[in-house]
Amino acid sequence: MPRMTAADAAVAILRREGVTHAFGLPGAAINPFYAAMRRDGGITHTLARHVEGASHMAEGYTRARAGNIGVCVGTSGPAGTDMITGLYSASADSIPILCITGQAPVARLHKEDFQAVDIAAIAGPLTKMAMTVLEPAQVPGAFQQAFHLMRSGRPGPVLIDLPFDVQLAEIDFDPDTYQPLPVYKPAATRAQIAKALDMLAAAERPIIVAGGGIINADAADLLVEFAELTDTPVVPTLMGWGALPDDHRLMAGMAGLQTAHRYGNATLLASDFVLGIGNRWANRHTGGLGVYRAGRTFVHVDIEPTQIGRVFAPDYGIVSDARAALELFVEVAREREGRLPDRAAWVEQCRHRRATMQRRTHFDDVPVKPQRVYEEMNRAFGPETRYVSTIGLSQIAAAQFLHVYRPRHWINAGQAGPLGWTTPAALGVCVADPDTPVVALSGDYDFQFMIEELAVGAQFNLPYIHVLVNNAYLGLIRQSQRGFDMDYCVQLSFDNVNAPELGGYGVDHVKVAEGLGCKALRVTEPGEIGPALEEAKKLTAEYRVPVVVEVILERVTNISMGTELDNVTEFEDLAGRREDAPTAVVALLD
Ligand SMILES: Cc1ncc(C[n+]2csc(CCOP(=O)(O)OP(=O)(O)O)c2C)c(N)n1
Ligand SMILES: [Mg+2]
């Protein structure tokens, strides 16, 4: 039997489970693992500037391609605690990442050793498994189990904590005969799918709510096929956005309190039946359940049995992987072709709402209104673009105005929304798929969190465009403070003694980005945005580094949002003419 250190065995298993890349940074307690990676030579490594950054890079890496599992590595103590936000974000959005940490030697764990913290206990609620491996011979089993758990059922992250002496201990392990454990994914039965289809057929105004589970299951093609077969309009959730192209005739718009379209909410409220697939009835999607549920029948399909009934009791629940369910939905719907209800009138009503209920994007104001930025982005970036964003008015407006055409092309920290996620996640996406253009979008505060990770993009030549919309405000929080009649602790503006030309906007992002080895442009007028985005494309190609395009926005903008689906406040004029929303996918009716 081959003998090797437990760390060598761990790396051998990573290789056999398909891992080719890791994000992280070494420290003394994880050096044996780094030594094993070096001996193996088959895992490339991106050195993050902050360990939290490494964890978000791993998440971006997972999300960019079906089957990917992002790996992040750090040492003992603060490295693990830094990655807790990454574990939270990944678990909240059902994304598998494997977090590997070093640890103090086993015999010293309880002696308050230097940087010995019980990271497994801390990570417990955020992971599918969090384990400090105390026996070297358990290391192969721990890694085997980790991959099994990350891929089975509702995907999510795992943490493996490796004491220094455990990493170094020699064990018997045969990599050649190592075999990944079978993956468990529950699948709907024909009877269940037939029943759900009967309920859909009995409805008059049905919609499909398409969640991120469809993207995780790599089943967007089947969703489109099923929607077309049954002629059912689709309302993607924020996590499911891209499962159906925005220009598809059955795209009914997103529903919700913030990241939603007026026509999406109107169509959801006009429906009498909702088939939710791989979604979790998130509160910012549903708003109050009284309004959301009134007069509607619900079927819920989810891979995790305990998700059925968690938020409300559906009329019928099916436990299934989204792909397995959609395969059967397509099969049974095909058998019923010709006997399915005619939906032409309902589909036309949904299309009409889309063509009449648009928000205005075309403003010529200086300072720039944010809506105009997304109009210019729609012009500059084609359907091949992958967008990455986190949270804030910037992200909310992006969801209202941008267009997404493919699965995994809207990569967003949906549930946790940690500020600072955008830059490292975008870098992880670039590593996973260097051939697809990546455009990140941040507010100024999100951008300032984890800004140091830009240097990682410069060092490892990870070109992408980072659109930075700067209102010198914690904009979303400023807007929510209207309810408290205050504007308190949310200002980011100050007179920068080194950059008086910024006129009180505070941080000189262009200088910081340049200082970190990136290219950066700043625009202040709406007409300059388009040319700057074109210039940014050239700069990414020429220099192969991140390129920041900062747009100086008006300080105070309120973006449409509300407390109920039927109570969303609009702050700007709505689009009344084609020229008001020139990049809307469906032309505005005269
Ligand atoms: C770590 C963390 N702390 C606080 C928040 C709450 N929060 C959400 S959005 C926001 C302000 C974001 O400001 P900015 O990135 O400039 O975006 P804007 O809303 O101005 O477009 C804050 C503080 C958060 N999401 N994450
Ligand atoms: Mg801001």
CA of 560 to the centre of ligand 1 (A): 17
52 lines ligand 1 (CB under 6 A): no
Question: Per-residue confidence of the chain (590 residues) as pLDDT tens digits?
Answer: 999 999 999 999 999 999 999 999 999 999 999 999 999 999 999 999 999 999 999 999 999 999 999 999 999 999 999 999 999 999 999 999 999 999 999 999 999 999 999 999 999 999 999 999 999 999 999 999 999 999 999 999 999 999 999 999 999 999 999 999 999 999 999 999 999 999 999 999 999 999 999 999 999 999 999 999 999 999 999 999 999 999 999 999 999 999 999 999 999 999 999 999 999 999 999 999 999 999 999 999 999 999 999 999 999 999 999 999 999 999 999 999 999 999 999 999 999 999 999 999 999 999 999 999 999 999 999 999 999 999 999 999 999 999 999 999 999 999 999 999 999 999 999 999 999 999 999 999 999 999 999 999 999 999 999 999 999 999 999 999 999 999 999 999 999 999 999 999 999 999 999 999 999 999 999 999 999 999 999 999 999 999 999 999 999 999 999 999 999 999 998 999 999 999 999 988 75
Residue 485 has a CB neighbour count (10 Å cut-off) of 7
CB 417 near ligand 1, within 6 Å: yes
Task: Give the pLDDT score at 483.
Answer: 93
Q: What pLDDT was estimated at residue 588?
A: 80
Task: State the distance from the centre of ligand 2 to the C-alpha of 526, rounded, in angstroms.
Answer: 18
Q: Ligand 1 pocket, 479 CB below 6 A?
A: no
477 CA distance to ligand 1 middle (Å): 7
Cα-to-chain-centroid distance, residue 327: 25
What's the predicted TM-score (pTM) here? 0.98
**Residue 144 buriedness (CB in 10 A; 0-12 / 13-18 / 19+):** middle
Which alpha helices (DSSP H) does 516-578 contain, by range? 526-543
d(CA 58, CA 431): 10
3-state helix, strand, coil in the chain (%, to 5): 40, 20, 40
Sequence-distant (6+) residues with CB within 8 A of 223 are: 208, 210, 214, 234, 243, 244, 277, 322, 326
Ligand nearest to the CA of 481: 1
CA angle 86, 89, 90 (to 5 degrees): 85
Say how many Å lie between the first and final Cα of the chain, rounded. Answer: 77
Which listed ligand is nearest to 552 at the C-alpha? 2
Residue-level pLDDT at 84: 98
Task: Tell how strand 273-277 and strand 206-210 pair up.
Answer: parallel
Of residues 399, 363, 76, 335, the one with CA closest to residue 194: 335
Which residue's alpha carbon is nearest to atom 5 within ligand 1? 419
Q: Whose CA is nearest to atom 11 of ligand 1?
A: 474
Dist CA 5 CA 352 (whole Å): 65
- The alpha carbon of 523 and the centre of ligand 2 are apart by a number of angstroms equal to 16
